[in-house]
């Protein structure tokens, strides 16, 4: 398993070693010792899975306060552009986005720590799965509008399909005002 640092501290791209043979493939999708060696000392308490067709954008979501979640995300099938945005108060990379293509052929993953908004654009129909460090808590849910001009994220999807909720999140500037500077 290769764990790569990104330009945003505490966010990691993970590339498992895939063992292929005529029967199919095998990979380790999680190894506590390797994650802990890179400072990812996360206790996982919930696994989630979704299916989305190409052209869907989900996010940018977060949970705040005591219900904040770290996430370990990947696709089982398909391809997505995965996005995380640093919302940590006083972080030198506050408001910066990191993107990576999660692809079933690579089975790569992204580790997103607490204090980040997260979302993804579906490029090829995808089964998306993620581990969470905290249980979902509706009252702690928040988000940033997917097409925020300040973030200027190229989602790689023309005319995306979004939930009503994802069309109505505040932009980053308004979030800063509401949250008094960040998560």
The residues near 154 (Cβ < 8 Å, ≥ 6 apart) are none
Tell me, yes or no, if 130 is annotated catalytic: yes
pLDDT for 2 equals 97
Token pair in block for residue 30: 């999680």
pLDDT for 42 equals 95
pTM of the model: 0.96
Tell me, yes or no, if 66 is annotated catalytic: no
Angstrom distance (rounded) from CA 79 to CA 10: 24
pLDDT for 78 equals 98
Backbone angles phi, psi at 119, to 5 degrees: -165, 175
The domain locations on the chain are 2-179
Whole-number average pLDDT of the chain = 97
Q: Kindly indicate the confidence band of residue 47, based on its pLDDT and cuts at 50, 70 and 90.
A: very high
Q: 12, 51, 130, 137: which is the annotated catalytic residue?
A: 130
What kind and span of H or E run contains 164?
A: none
Q: How far is CA 114 from the centre of its chain?
A: 11
Q: 61, 98, 111, 118: which is the annotated catalytic residue?
A: 61
120 touches 84 (CB < 8 A): no
CATH superfamily assigned to domain 2-179: Jelly Rolls (2.60.120.10)
Q: Kindly indicate the confidence band of residue 33, based on its pLDDT and cuts at 50, 70 and 90.
A: very high
């Amino acid at each position: 398993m290769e764990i790569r640092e990104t330009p945003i501290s505490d966010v990691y791209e993970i590339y498992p070693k895939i063992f292929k043979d005529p029967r199919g493939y095998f990979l380790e999708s999680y190894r506590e010792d390797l994650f802990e060696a890179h400072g990812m000392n996360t206790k996982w308490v919930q696994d989630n899975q979704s299916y989305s067709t190409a052209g869907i954008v989900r996010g940018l979501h977060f949970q705040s306060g005591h219900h904040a979640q770290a996430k370990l995300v990947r696709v089982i099938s398909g391809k997505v552009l995965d996005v995380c945005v640093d919302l940590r108060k006083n972080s030198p990379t506050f408001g910066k986005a990191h993107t990576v293509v999660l692809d079933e052929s690579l089975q790569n993953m992204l580790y997103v720590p607490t204090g980040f908004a997260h979302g993804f654009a579906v490029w090829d129909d995808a089964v998306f799965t993620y581990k969470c460090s905290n249980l979902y808590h509706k009252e702690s849910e928040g988000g940033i509008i997917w097409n925020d001009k300040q973030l200027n994220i190229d989602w790689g999807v023309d005319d995306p399909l979004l939930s009503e909720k994802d069309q109505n999140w505040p932009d980053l500037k308004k979030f800063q005002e509401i949250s008094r500077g960040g998560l």
